[in-house]
Amino acid sequence: MTLNPPLNSNPLLDFTGLPRYSSIRTEHIDPAVDTLLAENRALVATLSDPATPVSWSAVVKPLEDANERLGRAWGAVGHLHGVLDSPELRAAYEANQPKIVQYYTELGQNLSLFGKYKALKASMEFDALEPAQRKIIENELRDFRLSGAELPETEKKRFADLQEELAGVCTRFSNNVLDATNAFTLLIQDAGELSGVPADVVEAAGEAAQKDGAQGWKLTLKAPCYIPVMQYADNRTLREKLYRAYVTRASEFDTAARDNAPLILRILKLRRESARLLDYANYAEVSLATKMAQGPAQVLEFLGDLARKALPYARRDYAELESFARDELRLENLHSWDLAWASEKLRAKRYAFSDQEIKQYFPEAKVLEGMFRVVERLYGISVVPDQAESWDAAVRFFRVVDAKGALIGQFYLDTYARETKRGGAWMDEAITRRRTETGVQAPVAYLICNFSPPVGARPALLTHDEVLTLFHEFGHGLHHLLTRVDYLGVSGIRGVEWDAVELPSQFMENFCWEWEVLKHMTAHVDDGAPLPRALFDKMLAAKNFQAGMQTVRQLEYALFDMRLHCGLDPDGAKSVQQLIEEVRNEVAVAFPPDYNRFANSFSHIFAGAGYAAGYYSYKWAEVLSADAYSMFEETREDRSDKADRKAPDQATVLDAATGARFLSEILAVGGSRPAIESFKAFRGREPSVDALLRHNGMIAS
């Protein structure tokens, strides 16, 4: 870590403001964690004492305060582990993670505290509390049970050991994927081998080679390089080489030390044993205890129903691609490393544009300006550049203010890929809103992406898919930042059912397909000209290109995840690889080669518990988000029918009144009430799958 020298106090123990990232060093981690754990354990002992009265102010609030301090300090460490990894930081993280897991397991199994929460729920005070406070207590009671509070002492110890080992194994899984991704490089010395690859990608590869003191072009498995090479490289041998390296990361085809296959089996065994200790049939039931879905059977029925609706479209998509590849590209056999390339060729022919042509109209600064304009119109807020200590020179910082300029929240924006950063895109919380004795604590978020950085004098350019990703993560950020809940446990995204947490993020993606939005967020990198309407119309016509194939691919991942956690015996005859092949035989239309080891880098479900037996949440929440967005579409259509010719802009999808309703009923309430209640309060009815099918071109508009 390149983090600065001497300071008078431990920055991880400073909670007076924003995290002091330029001051944090690895040697601060051990003492900060040990200090906070000691303080918290002393407090828990006091709260557990029978002499401590049962009340919100005597029990819940002090514990919430203490855990918030620990969460902020450890959250800063975990954040740096994700965006600025180093051997020293990784060692410190792995040394302290078991301490954190042990503390929270002890806390969740504390029968005295559990008894006090039960007594508070049964008291007269409970009825007098605010709804958000009551929801926190109900959630805590549920979580005590899920933490093994009611287990016999011997089983409590076993449960605690399982949780500690599970956290460590999941971290090793994640580290192996990152290390395997970084380990592969391919130096190209003949420019002809890069035929078809976009110029900016070639230039970036050349710069990467120069940094290594080499001549030629350095290719990697990081998304800004891997994706465009697979999509545009005419060199089939090159595509196959990169594809094989990518899909065998952290497998038996990699180094033995990085093979995640044994870790997957261990994770499954640990999760299964934990579930059985809690008297659940399988881990999927444990996962769904905190989600909207009522059980594995309901999830499997939901996914199966979507598969039946999507498969005819997916089969049509694939047949068209096979025919085009054979007739136009002279590919008798369409392999996995051909799919993205052939699809791009088909799309370019059918719709007369390419992703690279579109990309020239999306310089990052203009995209940000347009994205901020959307939320300003919808919610009456402003996003203003600000300054803060950060972990990398490319990180930017913003504040969100209301119409009067009052602070609502702040966020860090870290958009570029680098070797010390794990792949993908995510939002996380740095500080969560709550009301304290001195006023409201403003929330702070991290928005993290892995886009290509600027090359030479040219700014960073985003593909339209990357624009969608940015809007998606900003939607998560708004859920965290625009909450109006004053109590930590259900503020922002906290307490929101995991299968509903994607609603605000997927909702934001819809605006990336609106002309009234895109015309204000595009400027050609060479001459500043906005995206031509004719080109946008082609994009819109191509919006659902291969939507069937994309849908069944997501269903494949979701079905694999759910069956893995509710039906596969990790000690049985059927292997993880056999299970995913079984799922593919049911819902896939494109089949990868035998050496594909997708599961070994499926970090969503194996690098942590968030999406384990929960990957279906993307599709579940997409139903909610599409239906919620359809209300904005209906408002526009209604206004269009009634619009005065002198005020045509009244017919807009950026309707402030509907935006205010979405803010107050979805974003602002956080986890203070069940997500289905929030949805119905906004939409006025139960969710319907029709909007999702319509947006994906699977039913008529």
Residues forming the active site: 473
d(CA 242, CA 89): 30
Length of the chain: 701
Q: Which residues of 118-151 are buried (b: 16+ CB within 10 A; e: fewer)?
A: eebeeeeeeeebeebbbbbbebbbebbbbbbbeb
d(CA 81, CA 91): 10
Q: Is 219 helix (H, G, I), strand (E, B) or coil?
A: strand
Give the phi and the psi of residue 518 in degrees, each rounded to 5. Answer: -65, -30
Distances (CA, A) of 121 to 57, 486, 626: 14, 20, 37
In the chain, the amino acid numbered 475 is G
Which letter does DSSP use for residue 235 in this model? Answer: -
Tokens 């119905």 locate to 680
CA distances from 307 to 97, 212, 578 (A): 39, 47, 20
Measured CA to CA, the distance from residue 251 to residue 245 in angstroms comes to 10
Distance CA 549, CA 318 (A): 7
Q: Encode burial over 59-86: b for 16+ CB neighbours within 10 A, e otherwise.
A: bbeebbebbbbbbbbbbbbbbbbbbbbe
Strands (E), 263-416: 382-386, 396-401, 407-416
Sheet holding 407-416, edge to edge: 382-386, 396-401, 407-416, 444-451, 426-431
CA distance 265 to 558: 18
DSSP symbols for 643-697: --TT-GGGS-SS-HHHHHHHIIIIITTTTSS-HHHHHHHHHSS---SHHHHHHTT
d(CA 334, CA 536): 30
